[in-house]
Amino acid sequence: RAYSLVDSSQVSTFLISILLIVYGSFRSLNMDFENQDKEKDSSSTAGSFNGNSTNNSIQTIDSTQALFLPIGASVSLLVMFFFFDSVQVVFTICTAVLATIAFAFLLLPMCQYLTRPCSPQNKISFGCCGRFTAAELLSFSLSVMLVLIWVLTGHWLLMDALAMGLCVAMIAFVRLPSLKVSCLLLSGLLIYDVFWVFFSAYIFNSNVMVKVATQPADNPLDVLSRKLHLGPNVGRDVPRLSLPGKLVFPSSTGSHFSMLGIGDIVMPGLLLCFVLRYDNYKKQANSDSCGAPGPGNISGRMQKVSYFHCTLIGYFVGLLTATVASRIHRAAQPALLYLVPFTLLPLLTMAYLKGDLRRMWSEPFHSKSSSSRFLEV
């Protein structure tokens, strides 16, 4: 059974999910630095920098979106549950396109490193398609090749690679502006996860979440060959595709797979990204104020503990708890039921002890100085 054992597959899930969160968070922070540099180069006007004004690809979630996202996710889940046979091909194609773009984003730093010695960073024009560097073209070509191989083979390792790209891209391009929005979003998704895993069977006579997550889709090549009547041997030997909405790792014996949905990586990852940006903001603020000490009611050692490390440890403990619970109950568990308390509660406690809770709750990146160099989201 997919959730029955704690072995090498579970260890792989732990390590990969943590690496994806850390990498995605630092990619997001690096994008902020690049946007700040572009803002300085393009304008000499003093003032704080709003990331959304220069990079339209970055999406900041507000309170309304945080409240309605679980509802939208529930509607999408029901559509996939009731009409999967009708929309599976369209959904597979859309997922493949998104995975191609996301995996190209994941490969871009490596391609930039490889092409830097032998190719200038000048952009090549492709007419109405836009202008791209050699590194961007290389990463996109490799991503298209991997997606095509995945469609032809359906191998779980290629599916995991695409899922990793989706995780990193979503963590890097989606932002939580405050702790209030973070709590609204994660609390709503916790209720969503618990309901669809534990209580959906009483209403729909089936575990909706597990069925949608594990149901394979028809291969588009097979559907295309049948529509065009290309013959029984053309495109009919391709496998059905398990969509990259999750990470799967086989056990050492190959008897079962460990599975973790990308939502259980991305949503806590957005919180980790938020606290990493706040740690960096606070570090720069303290350096500008000549190392002013923190509140007098907390020790200097506690002040040195970053919110990022505290929340990351909480994520690991929550993931471990979810795994132990799945082994005890021999059934799928809503991972957010464990991840949300183990990440939010230590963060809220530390923010209160450090005296940062009020600021992190509403306007964590607001600077009173007109000459501030920091992000304002």
> Which DSSP string do the residues of 8-64 spell out, in sequence order?
HHHHHHHHHHHHHHHHHHHHHHHHHHHHHHHHHHH----S-B-HHHH-TT-EE--HH
Q: Give pLDDT, residue 48.
A: 44
Q: Is 212 domain-assigned?
A: yes
Please state whether 220 falls in left (phi above 0), alpha (psi between -120 and 50) or beta: alpha
Q: Give pLDDT, residue 3.
A: 40
pTM, two decimals, is: 0.86
Is residue 119 pLDDT above 80, yes or no? Answer: no
Report which of residues 149 and 375 the model is more confident about: 149
Is residue 49 pLDDT above 70, yes or no? Answer: no
Please state whether 294 falls in left (phi above 0), alpha (psi between -120 and 50) or beta: beta
Tell me which residue range forms the domain holding 97: 8-37+57-117+130-260
Rounded Cα distance between 103 and 377, Å, is 27
Q: Is 361 domain-assigned?
A: no
Mean pLDDT of the chain: 82
Q: Give pLDDT, residue 7.
A: 61
Q: What pLDDT digit, counting tens, does each position of 205-242 carry?
A: 888 998 898 888 888 888 877 777 666 665 567 888 88
Residue 133 neighbours by CB under 8 Å, 6+ apart:
112, 115, 121, 122, 123, 124
Amino acid making up residue 251: S
Please give the structure tokens belonging to residue 28. Answer: 């997001």
Q: Give pLDDT, residue 271.
A: 95
Give the closest residue to 242 by CA, choosing from 214, 211, 263: 214
Q: Give pLDDT, residue 254.
A: 61
Q: What pLDDT digit, counting tens, does each position of 264-296 carry?
A: 999 999 999 999 999 998 888 777 665 545 554
Give the closest residue to 52 by CA, choosing from 138, 144, 174: 174
Q: Is 2 domain-assigned?
A: no
**Overall number of domains in the chain:** 1
Please give the structure tokens belonging to residue 61. Answer: 């979630």
Q: Is 69 domain-assigned?
A: yes
Rounded Cα distance between 359 and 377, Å, is 13
Is residue 374 pLDDT above 60, yes or no? Answer: no
- Helix (H) or strand (E) holding 183, with range, is helix 179-194
Kindly indicate the confidence band of residue 301, based on its pLDDT and cuts at 50, 70 and 90: low
For 72-132, list the strands marked E by DSSP. Answer: 124-125, 131-132
Q: Is 248 domain-assigned?
A: yes
Rg, C-alpha atoms of the chain = 23
Q: What pLDDT digit, counting tens, does each position of 148-194 carry?
A: 999 999 889 999 999 999 999 999 999 999 999 999 999 999 999 99
Q: Give pLDDT, residue 278.
A: 93
Rounded Cα distance between 335 and 95, Å, is 23
SS3 assignment, position 203: helix
| Dihedral (Cα; 79, 83, 86, 91), 10-degree rounding | 30
Q: Give pLDDT, residue 87.
A: 87
Report which of residues 323 and 235 the model is more confident about: 323
- Helix (H) or strand (E) holding 193, with range, is helix 179-194
Q: Is 277 domain-assigned?
A: no
Q: Give pLDDT, residue 6.
A: 54
CA 249 to chain centroid: 18
Q: What pLDDT digit, counting tens, does each position of 331-372 carry?
A: 778 899 999 999 999 999 999 988 889 999 988 887 544 344
Whole-angstrom CA distances from 110 to 19, 23, 146, 368 are 16, 13, 16, 39
Q: Give pLDDT, residue 5.
A: 44
Rounded Cα distance between 368 and 122, Å, is 39
Report the largest interatomic distance among the alpha carbons of the chain, rounded to a whole angstrom.
78
Q: Give pLDDT, residue 372.
A: 40
Q: Give pLDDT, residue 50.
A: 43
Report which of residues 283 and 66 the model is more confident about: 66
Strands 246-250 and 257-261: antiparallel
Kindly indicate the confidence band of residue 126, based on its pLDDT and cuts at 50, 70 and 90: confident
Catalytic residues: 193, 264
Q: Which of 13-27, 72-86, 168-182, 251-265 has the lowest mean pLDDT?
A: 251-265
Q: Give pLDDT, residue 185.
A: 95
Q: Is 360 domain-assigned?
A: no
| Range with the largest mean pLDDT of 127-136, 164-173, 254-263 | 164-173
Report which of residues 31 and 229 the model is more confident about: 31
Cβ atoms within 10 A of the Cβ of 15, count?
12
Q: Give pLDDT, residue 106.
A: 93
Q: What pLDDT digit, counting tens, does each position of 81-92 carry?
A: 999 888 888 899
Whole-angstrom CA distances from 303 to 95, 234, 355, 374 are 43, 65, 10, 21
Query: Residue with structure tokens 């943590």?
Result: 18
SS3 assignment, position 246: strand
Q: Is 113 domain-assigned?
A: yes
Strands 59-60 and 131-132: unpaired
| Range with the largest mean pLDDT of 109-113, 125-129, 141-145, 287-291 | 141-145
Query: Residue with structure tokens 């160099």?
Result: 373
